[in-house]
Structure 1
Amino acid sequence: MSAQFPVARPRRLRRTPALRRMVAETRLSPADLVLPMFVKEGIAEPQPVTSMPGVVQHTRDSLRKAAHEAVEAGVGGLILFGIPAVKDGTGSAADDPDGIVQLALRDLSSDLGDSTVIMTDLCLDEYTDHGHCGIVTASGEIDNDATLERYASIAVAQAEAGTAVVGPSGMMDGQVAAIRAALDGAGHPDLPIMAYSVKYASAYYGPFREAAECAPQFGDRSTHQQDPGNADEALREVLLDLDEGADMVMVKPAGAYLDIVRRVRDTVDVPVVAYQVSGEYAMIEAAAEKGWIDRDRTILESLLSIRRAGADIALTYWATEVARRLA
């Protein structure tokens, strides 16, 4: 062969769509996806979330319909976030047996059985009148240990209502241990914990706070969520949660922290979850609406990058849509 031509030709394996699929290193499937869903108490019709086009606050009935659609599309799981009609300082609706998430869990467990994995977010910010993730002291601080007691009670309430996985997201020290002890003590030793182990104090959560009606009424969450500049600390949080009994670990947000996803994946031998958060969703939808990007390709590329970084599971508001497209 003439020296002027290349011997190695990687393009040979890119010639056709079928060939590219066959040699793909990273694949995305519907079973990898979990759909976050908001259910609100006391509304008669689904309420659109203005900053998240296509996302709604569900009624119990519309939640059931959307859940069926997700399962039919092949989505791997659902995770529920509840918005009660009445909020108070301790988030008492969070562990009320007749609270909105507990009622929705019973609905979905009855409807869907074992056809999907029904998960629940376990935190207080959606339920408190101050919008913080824990019990607030008179001086305005988050009382870590008093909050753990609330988390333990919420975990048991969700377990008894039928959740398949609890997802503590408050980033309190010792939360996994407190929840594991409470679940074991209440007769739920086999219920898995998906720990939000690495949750950054991110600017990407704005649209979620509209959807869940949980914006802090004062201060912020920097005392318990991680500083965006810290990477080694993320691994410490992950290892602490695993020592306390976590079964899966999460990195949140996903897109701006793919390096962290990879570091966690290289460190642990349990499933790694990444949450493509509301701000990531809103930015792509907004840019697509302006005609600045190809919406469908960008959505798939963003999710593929999360998988390529090492996440086994991706939480995404596009789960149903993407699952249908992949099918």
Structure 2
Amino acid sequence: MNFPVTRMRRLRRTEAMRSLVRETHLHPGALIYPLFICPGEGVRKPISSMPNVFNLSLDEALKEAEKCAELGIGALLLFGLPAEKDEQATGAWADDGIVQNALREFKKNRKLDSLVMMADVCLCEYTSHGHCGVVARDGDHYDIENDASVTLLAKTAASLAKAGADIVAPSDMMDGRVAAMRDALDEGGFEQTPILSYASKFSSAFYGPFREAADSAPQFGDRRSYQMDGANLREAMREIELDIAEGADMLLMKPAMPYLDVMHEARQRFDLPIGAYQVSGEYSMLHAAFERGWLEPERTMMESLTSIRRAGADFIVTYFAKDAAKILG
């Protein structure tokens, strides 16, 4: 059909009409809110590079979790800031670790029953050197020992599941960690606990504000030897295939905005539930524009989330989760 028989604007005339034919939808249950839990009581420490995001003591984190449940948000993703760090990341897998204690308290609170509790599995917040694994040094040279790191990561996953995590989410990018975690979970009696693998986590400049939030910046070197090269789409697909073969139940792409093509390609190839992490740099970048009046906050926020959903994400980890849920609710 040619103009004027075909008029594409007919279905755009009103908001009701646009809503009726909208192809991509957001809803609060598909949003996941990250929480950074720190020691102390009554602590609500602002993160300078991330407006409206805080390091929270457990009592304050409980209040925040209750707000998320009231808003219909689907899940929380928990990160811990331990009181002490060491080279073996002891706080990551200790029975009385900060996230383990938080999980036990959250599970006691019936107001939080609607929230899925996801626990990040990594060592960087807990190591004195800030890397995601065990460091081997030889003079001025260093390497991250893959297999020794995997052993600790598997212990961490089992410890978090024991404390009440509904889903464990490895973000370290060590080879073979999903299989090791699956074995550790099954041996511990947690065969029903799913693994959400950060299957293609890229070495990205967009993580900067998070490293302030989680106090996880490397004390030396960088993470390029284990996080993925941002130029490699085919390699990302191989990483995903390997994690699925090792037993991953769900997949997470990180970051979101610079890698929407990776999300789309993964959605075309794989049938597992797939999510994306709209990371700290994406959030802070948009907020900087909001504060200067360069972008309209509500429209920009929702457009950014819709683009992630349209690319193929079933769920989105985002610091905008509460604000978006208020609009969607």
Q: Secondary structure at the match of 1:287?
A: helix
1:68 lines up with 2:66 in the alignment: yes
1:132 corresponds to = 131
**In the alignment, which residue of structure 1 is the partner of 2:206?**
204
For the 8 Å contact 1:42–1:85, the answer to whether it is kept is no
One-letter amino acid of the counterpart of residue 295, structure 1:
P
The match for 1:292 is: 294
Instruction: State which of 220, 229, 236 in structure 2 corresponds to 1:234.
Output: 236
| CA RMSD between the two structures | 1.2
Whole-angstrom CA distance in 2 between matches of 1:4 and 1:217: 63
What's the TM-score, normalizing by structure 1?
0.98
Q: Post-superposition shift, 1:43?
A: 5.5
Structure 2 residue runs without a partner (length 5+): none
Aligned counterpart for 2:217 among listed residues 198, 215, 218 = 215
Amino acid at match of 2:56: H
In structure 2, the partner of 1:260 is: 262
Q: Which residue identity does 2:115 align to in structure 1?
A: T
Displacement, 1:42?
3.2
Q: Which runs of 4+ in 1 moved over 6 A?
A: none
Q: Which moved more, 1:81-90 or 1:112-121?
A: 112-121
Residues 118-176 of structure 1: CA deviation (Å, up to 9, x unaligned) = 00000000000100000001232100000010011101110110000000000000010
1:191 corresponding residue in structure 2 = 193
Tell me the CA shift for residue 194 of structure 1: 0.1
Q: Matches of residues 297-312 of structure 1 in structure 2 within 5 Å? A: 297-312=299-314
Task: Return the offset for 1:4.
Answer: 10
Q: Deviations over 1:274-310 (max 9, x none)?
A: 0000000000001000000001110000000000000
SS of the aligned residue for 1:121 comes to strand
Structure 1 stretches of 5 or more lacking a match?
none
Q: Deviations over 1:226-257 (max 9, x none)?
A: 00100000100001000000000111000010
Out of 25, 28, 31, which is 1:27 matched to?
A: 25
Letter in 2 for 1:282: S
How many residues are paired up? Answer: 325
Match of 1:216, as an amino acid? P
Per the TM alignment, residue 114 of structure 1 is displaced from its structure 2 partner at its CA by 3.3
> Aligned equivalents of 1:138 and 1:226: distance in 2?
22
Equivalence map 1:116-131=2 (5 Å): 116-131=115-130
Asked whether the equivalents of residues 28 and 304 of structure 1 are also in contact (C-alpha less than 8 Å), the reply is: yes
What amino acid does structure 2 have at the position aligned with 1:108? F
Number of the residue aligned with 2:84 = 86
Q: State the Cα distance separating 1:44 from its structure 2 match.
A: 4.0
Which residue pairs with 1:323 in the alignment?
325
d(CA) in 1 for partners of 2:249, 2:6: 44
Aligned counterpart for 2:107 among listed residues 106, 109, 117: 109
C-alpha contact (below 8 Å) 2:118/2:169 kept by paired residues: yes
Q: Equivalent residue for 1:225?
A: 227
Aligned counterpart for 1:271 among listed residues 261, 268, 273: 273
1:96-175 matches, cutoff 5 A? 96-112=94-110, 114-139=113-138, 140-175=142-177
The alpha-carbon deviation at position 5 of structure 1 amounts to 5.4
1:58 correspondence with 2:56? yes
| Identity within the alignment, % | 51
Q: Spell out, residue by residue over 1:75-134, the C-alpha distance to the aligned partner (whole angstroms, 9 max, x if none).
A: 010010000010010110111111110011011111145311000000000000100000
| Structure 1 pair 7–97 and aligned structure 2 pair: CA distance change class (3 A) | same
C-alpha spacing 1:4/1:168, structure 2 compared with 1 (3 Å): closer
1:6 deviates by 2.1
2:13 to 9, 12, 15: 15
